[in-house]
Amino acid sequence: MPEDIKAKVQAQFGASSEAYATSSVHAKGESLAVLLELIDPQPDWTMLDVGTGAGHTALTFAPHVAQVLATDLTGAMLNKTAELARQRGLTNVETRIADAEALPFDQASFDLVTCRLAFHHFPDSHRACREFARVLKPGGMLGFSDNFTVPDAAAAEYYNAYEKLRDPSHHWVYPLPQLQAMLAEAGFQIIAVRPLRKEFEFHNWADRMRVSAEDKARLQAMMHQLPTPLRPFFTPRWTDETMYFSLHEVVLTARL
């Protein structure tokens, strides 16, 4: 099952690299600025960005650190990261294919590890957290962001079914307390927790993953049938032509 999900990640995002390069929530999302503010990167740091996608986090931090290694499972995404780095004149960004659950780096290699909006694709989340800790130097910093869901188990399952219908490579979005517990179990001391709310227009959100018309109809029907705990969470609203809804993201910073 884990390898099946990873293959889906490569298939989905290999075909979507251009869409994620221009996606406003990834390229200009609020969590980018919040991460930069909370981490305060230093000019002598070496940074690892895990699940870099089109490289938005890596490229945002590159002017503030000595070296950035941007990793992802998907070669097309890394090609886009390298292209964007060249366009911006960033010469300290290197790209490498790597699995977040088995990072090909020595223990205590990096001053900073970041992982933004990728964690919900990792089949073994606990192992990924341990890998973040393993490759960080003692006292090193983790900058993390991902979506989160409600604690109610049935509602969380409905939430994740909704996400998986849109994106088959989606694995699981967790409630915030569970995310914090996983990081603590891996040895991290959490410094800051910043929840964020972001609103999406439905068709733009669905089209980024090339969702069929039939599945779009299923997704809209699911939004009309939300479990009670999810109604104030998604806060859907409809217009004559489309639907808008919210997702929630958390920015966490932590040290070993």
**Whether residue 49 has pLDDT greater than 70:** yes
Quick one: average pLDDT of 37-62?
Answer: 97
* Non-local CB neighbours of 159 within 8 Å, separated by 6+ positions: 149, 150, 173, 230, 233
* Non-local CB neighbours of 15 within 8 Å, separated by 6+ positions: 76, 210
- Distance between CA atoms of residues 117 and 130, nearest Å: 18
Q: What is the pLDDT of residues 169-212, one digit of tens each?
A: 999 999 999 999 999 999 999 999 999 999 999 999 999 999 99
Q: Which residues pair with 110 in a beta bridge?
A: 136
Radius of gyration of the chain (CA): 18
70 within 8 A of 97, measured Cβ to Cβ: no
Q: What pLDDT score was predicted for residue 134?
A: 98
* Non-local CB neighbours of 186 within 8 Å, separated by 6+ positions: 126, 129, 130, 132, 133
Task: Specify the pTM.
Answer: 0.89
Q: What is the pLDDT of residues 105-142, one digit of tens each?
A: 999 999 999 999 999 999 999 999 999 999 999 999 99
Q: What pLDDT score was predicted for residue 4?
A: 72
Distances 164 to 14, 87, 108, 160, 209 between C-alpha atoms, Å: 17, 34, 35, 6, 11
Q: What pLDDT score was predicted for residue 219?
A: 98
* Non-local CB neighbours of 85 within 8 Å, separated by 6+ positions: 55, 58, 59, 62, 91, 93
Q: What pLDDT score was predicted for residue 123?
A: 96
Q: What pLDDT score was predicted for residue 17?
A: 45
What domains are there in the chain, each with its CATH number?
2-201+248-255 (3.40.50.150)
